[in-house]
């Protein structure tokens, strides 16, 4: 297969400088709480009972559920992954020492039920994964919002997301030097808030038509503004088969200096149900990037390797239905252990068991091009319009792997 999967690569510091410093960090947002209409971002503070018993700081290895201190003195696995984000550079970065237990069950079909209780400040027992504990939930339904255009990176913060402005979206097409040593252009997209809008009951991510292939094309990307450490991330998305973009829901590490760690679901416009003009095989691409990969060499597969497809077979999974006519559910279940399955409409799709993510990650959704013929191709000659109707995330954070302090097992909501 002739494929150059330049997909969602971490930016090279030297690409940033080659572009005259156009790349900038996306994280510079102002603090605000989630107050969006209908935005549910349970923060663990509601409905928590007073701390009357010892906090369970261990994960029961059998169920993944937090267990009480008493029941885990013997055999309890300490869920510590505390130092992953304190790194400062690829050379000096520290890595998580202990990982929590993987779930007892990896289902081939994923159904996330409505919470069993009204107040869920003590977190969730995700029954699909044998009762895997997630302290937080974030849900938003874009069908409840009025049409609106955006102009700035903070315009979606009240709904829980940053909008990428000026930082690269997806990967660059080149390092700037060809295989034969000639200099060549670095084509890429930069985040553009005006390519994001609320439209007809969905979040619309448009890569605008007729852009000139360059290092400063404009593309949409939204990023859930919460650093997570494991989670189940599901979105209802309507894709487009307009050729010339890569449409992705993916997790990117939050350490800007050190890691190439990513978990992706990507789809190439024009290669949804059948190959595109460039003969890219059609379907759903689930890829994992080496969590210890060196982001200074994003185009060098020996320094920043990745894998995709079922057991890393480097094959996309065919779509079982047309994802362009209506909204479909896409999910990434990022779990401790070797395997983070992806789901399409609740059915497991071929996903790799190598390079599972280990550093804190943020969920992003984007629609981009770098003109690379073996991958995104493009840029598109027609507006490429991707729509997101809703998102539903259950997640842990670096700080909160275990049962929320002051909570009892019976306070947990089942989903």
Ligand X SMILES: *[C@@H]1O[C@H](CO)[C@@H](O)[C@H](O)[C@H]1NC(C)=O
* 259 contacts 92 by C-beta, under 8 angstroms: no
- Considering only residues 93, 163, 239, 349, which one is a binding residue for ligand X as defined by CB under 6 A? 239
Cα–Cα distance between 221 and 208 in angstroms, integer? 13
| Contacts (CB under 6 A) with ligand X, residues 59-118 | 65
Residue 250 backbone dihedrals phi, psi, to 5 degrees: -155, 165
Q: Choose the stretch contacting ligand X; rule: CB under 6 A; options: 70-78, 144-152, 199-207, 299-307.
A: 199-207
- Considering only residues 76, 121, 131, 291, which one is a binding residue for ligand X as defined by CB under 6 A? 131
3-state secondary structure of 411: helix
- Considering only residues 5, 6, 11, 215, which one is a binding residue for ligand X as defined by CB under 6 A? 11
Cα–Cα distance between 8 and 170 in angstroms, integer? 4
Q: How far is the CB of 180 from ligand X (least distance, A)?
A: 26
CB-wise, 155 or 255, nearer to ligand X? Answer: 255
34: contact with ligand X by CB under 6 A: yes
Residue 69 backbone dihedrals phi, psi, to 5 degrees: -55, -40
Q: What number of other Cβ atoms are within 10 A of residue 133's Cβ?
A: 31
| First-to-last C-alpha distance (Å) of the chain | 41
The 168-169 sheet, strands edge to edge:
168-169, 189-191, 217-219
Residue in the block written with tokens 């997630």: 134
- Considering only residues 12, 404, 412, 415, which one is a binding residue for ligand X as defined by CB under 6 A? 412
356: contact with ligand X by CB under 6 A: no
User: What is the number of the residue whose Cβ is closest to ligand X?
Assistant: 386
15: contact with ligand X by CB under 6 A: no
- Considering only residues 229, 358, 386, 391, which one is a binding residue for ligand X as defined by CB under 6 A? 386
383: contact with ligand X by CB under 6 A: yes
Residues 6+ apart with CB under 8 A from 104: 62, 63, 64, 129, 130, 131, 132
Q: Could you give the string, one character per residue 169-198, with x where binding to ligand X holds by CB under 6 A and - elsewhere?
A: ------------------------------
Cα–Cα distance between 286 and 215 in angstroms, integer? 26
| Contacts (CB under 6 A) with ligand X, residues 292-321 | none
Cα–Cα distance between 185 and 213 in angstroms, integer? 10
- Considering only residues 94, 98, 200, 321, which one is a binding residue for ligand X as defined by CB under 6 A? 200
Binding site for ligand X (CB under 6 A): 8-11, 27, 29, 31-32, 34, 41, 43, 65, 125, 127, 130-131, 136, 138, 157, 160, 168, 200-201, 205-207, 225-226, 237, 239-240, 242, 245, 247, 252-256, 269, 367, 380, 383-387, 397, 409, 412, 414
């Amino acid at each position: 297969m002739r494929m150059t999967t330049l997909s969602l690569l971490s930016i090279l510091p030297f690409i940033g400088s080659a572009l005259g410093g156009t790349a900038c960090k996306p994280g510079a947002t102002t603090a605000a709480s989630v107050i969006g209409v209908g935005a549910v971002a349970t923060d663990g503070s509601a409905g928590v009972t007073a701390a009357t018993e010892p906090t369970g700081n261990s994960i029961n290895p059998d169920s993944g559920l937090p267990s009480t201190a008493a029941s885990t003195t013997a055999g309890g696995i300490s869920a510590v992954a505390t130092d992953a984000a304190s790194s400062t550079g690829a050379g000096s970065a520290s890595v998580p020492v202990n990982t929590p237990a993987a779930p007892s069950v990896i289902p081939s079909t994923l159904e996330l039920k409505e919470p069993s209780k009204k107040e869920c400040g003590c977190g969730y027992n995700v029954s699909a994964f044998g009762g895997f504990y997630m302290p937080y939930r974030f849900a938003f339904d874009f069908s409840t919002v009025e049409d609106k255009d955006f102009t700035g990176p903070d315009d979606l913060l009240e709904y829980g997301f940053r909008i990428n402005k000026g930082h690269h979206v997806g990967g660059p097409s080149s390092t700037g030097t060809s295989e034969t040593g000639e200099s060549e252009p670095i084509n890429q997209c930069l985040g553009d808030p005006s390519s994001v809008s609320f439209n007809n009951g969905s979040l619309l991510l448009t890569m605008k038509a007729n852009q000139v292939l360059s290092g400063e094309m404009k593309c949409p990307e939204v990023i859930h503004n919460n650093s997570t450490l494991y989670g189940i991330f599901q979105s209802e998305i309507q894709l487009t088969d307009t050729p010339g973009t890569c449409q992705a829901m993916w997790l990117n590490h939050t350490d800007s200096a050190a890691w190439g760690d990513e978990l992706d679901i990507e789809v190439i416009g024009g290669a949804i149900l059948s190959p595109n003009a460039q003969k890219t095989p059609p379907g759903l691409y689930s890829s994992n990037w080496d969590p210890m990969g060196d982001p200074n060499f994003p185009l060098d597969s020996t320094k920043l390797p990745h894998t995709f497809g079922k057991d890393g077979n480097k094959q996309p999974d065919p779509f079982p239905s047309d994802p362009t006519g209506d909204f479909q559910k896409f999910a990434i279940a990022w779990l401790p252990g070797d395997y983070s399955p992806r789901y399409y409409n609740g059915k497991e799709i071929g996903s790799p068991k190598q390079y599972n993510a280990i550093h804190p990650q943020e969920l992003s959704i984007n629609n981009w091009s770098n003109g690379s013929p073996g991958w995104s191709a493009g840029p598109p000659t027609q507006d490429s319009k991707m729509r997101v109707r809703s998102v539903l995330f259950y997640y842990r954070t670096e700080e909160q792997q275990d049962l929320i302090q002051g909570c009892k097992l019976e306070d947990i909501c089942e989903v």
